[in-house]
Amino acid sequence: DMTIVMANVEFEKLSGFPRKDIERRKKFTEFIDPADLDKMISYHQGRRQNRPAVPDEYECRVINRSGQVRDIWLKVGMLPDGVHSIASFMDVTDLKAVQRELQKNQAALNGVIEAAGGLIYAISREYRIVSVNSAMAEKIGHDPTGQWCYAVLHGRNTPCPDCPASTEKPVRRELRSELDGRWYYAVTKPVNDPQGGVSGMETLMIDITERKQAEQALEEQTDRFRRENLSLRQGMKERFRFGGIIGKSPPMQKLYENIVHAASSSANVIIYGESGTGKELAAQEIHNSGNRAEGPFVVVNCGAIPENLLESEFFGYKKGAFTGADRDRAGHLQQAHKGTLFLDETGEIAPAMQVKLLRVIDGKGFSPVGGSEVINPDIRIIAATNRDPGSLVKQGVMREDFYFRLHVIPIYMPPLRERKEDLPLLADHFLKLYSESGQVPRLAGSLLESLYSHQWPGNVRELQNVIHRYVTVNRFELPGSDLPGRSSGDILPETEHQPGDLKKFLQEAEKRLIIRTLESNRWRRTETAAALGINRRTLFKKIRQHGLD
């Protein structure tokens, strides 16, 4: 009936009653916390009825004489008479208090962990996941406890080569996940066992993808500025040319700056200019000065491709796509992958083809003729035309949306007649280019005057042909000019001075050149000085010397 028959001194201390008031006077139920009373009575009765699964050891709470509640760990055994039982117990109140405090702290820590906004996991030294927070479990899609961390977190078959699993100090690092391609900032610290060794590690991972993308964009911008600055500094050293482009006139200086800005960008470019002004050279320099310089530079003369071949030329074709297609062939778009596609005479592209090219420009890719795979090339388009695209749009020859996709960075090539001060540089360049004997011929004053007076409808290409013909067949001829052909032995202007009087000859040639240039510029001295490649003060001085004022 649960009457206490015998109690030792320790039970006196626990209960607060002397043994004489306990033994055969009180029942054990008088000391049990009401919340645990039913459980204890059930165990007591079940033990005498030999019911299975009745525990011999359990925890319960007792109340002493002062009303204090104490936690005890109880072990009960039956005596041989089958009636009495003996109970030994241990006061675990302090231990339970510590456990409750730990649980409280763990709950608070879990709250902090969940509010941290990061992905947290703990692993053993054997790379098994011990625990994860809810954010990590949600990212993975399940509770990965017990699984290999390198398989679940990084999609690997073996441990990560840079894993700090055995670290004895906190490790901070940035890593990129092989599963989702995102960047994370990870802080890993060791977990120590009771002996002071490392039993595992805990890691906090914070997604820093946006920050890394911003850093990458900043690095690309810095690199672009560095390249632009390098190009500009190089241009300061050699402003009379830019790669294969020659000229030092103000229009050319503006062109060089535009090329530098276009090269530092990845946007599409359209180059306007008359035939023969060097549009392809400008496109080549944009490519060479940009971050695609290592890639291909593919030139397409749109005006030379028959309309029925446009699609196969641009997109390529598969073997058997049509008669004569005996093998796969990559088109211009695929050939220009990672590089630049230069579309010369863009105004000659048929509107139907413009629609298909628009899909490529918008990133929707293309399929080769006779194929079904979609190819998305990484290309930059530089277009060029000698026609007015605005009028082409009005005439319906060019689609407006196609025009605006190309007209992002416009560049204008000045005609040669607007930069005649570059004629000596260009003429000297072509004279050296076509001279095979090593001796570069010179142009007499009258021939140089004729270069300045000519309007150059064919621009630099026409000048190139004139100089080439002069060097090759010893004849100097300008289309539409009344200047008679001269042999190489008669290229000097007629003069009344003796052949040895070089100083006077040069003075007269200079005077005639200045007069001719003044007349062609309507005696505007600033324009004349620019055309002659000298400053205004030098021009005024020479005008006075020759009595032209």
349-408 pLDDT per residue, tens? 989 899 999 999 988 899 999 988 899 999 999 999 988 888 888 888 899 999 999 999
pLDDT reported for residue 80 = 87
pTM metric for this prediction:
0.50
What number of helices (H) and strands (E) belong to the chain? 20, 17
Give CA 348 to chain center in angstroms.
34
∠ CA 59-63-67, rounded to 5°: 150
- In single-letter form, the type of residue at position 101 comes to E
pLDDT reported for residue 489 = 35
Flag residues of the chain having pLDDT under 50.
236-237, 482-497
- Work out whether strand 119-124 and strand 198-207 pair parallel, antiparallel, or are unpaired: antiparallel
pLDDT reported for residue 75 = 92
Query: What residues contact 519, with CB distance under 8 A and at least 6 apart?
Result: none
- Work out whether strand 269-272 and strand 409-412 pair parallel, antiparallel, or are unpaired: parallel
| Beta pairing partners, 72 | 60, 91
pLDDT reported for residue 497 = 44
| Beta pairing partners, 32 | 62
- In single-letter form, the type of residue at position 380 comes to R
pLDDT reported for residue 331 = 92
Q: Tens digits of per-residue pLDDT, 111-152?
A: 665 555 678 888 888 889 998 888 888 888 898 999 998 888
pLDDT reported for residue 316 = 92
- In single-letter form, the type of residue at position 44 comes to H
Residue 148 carries which DSSP code?
A: B
**Are 369 and 317 in contact, with CB atoms under 8 Å apart?**
yes
Q: Which two tokens stand for residue 364?
A: 């929707």
Distance CA 110, CA 106 (A): 6
Q: What's the start-to-end Cα distance of the chain, in Å? A: 142
**What Å distances lie between residue 78 and 8, 87, 88, 101, 262, CA to CA?**
18, 9, 12, 36, 96
Instruction: Give the sign of the dihedral formed by CA 364, CA 368, CA 373, CA 377.
Output: negative
- In single-letter form, the type of residue at position 282 comes to A
Q: Which two tokens stand for residue 366?
A: 């293309």
Distance CA 539, CA 421 (A): 14
Helix (H, G, I), strand (E, B) or coil at 3: strand
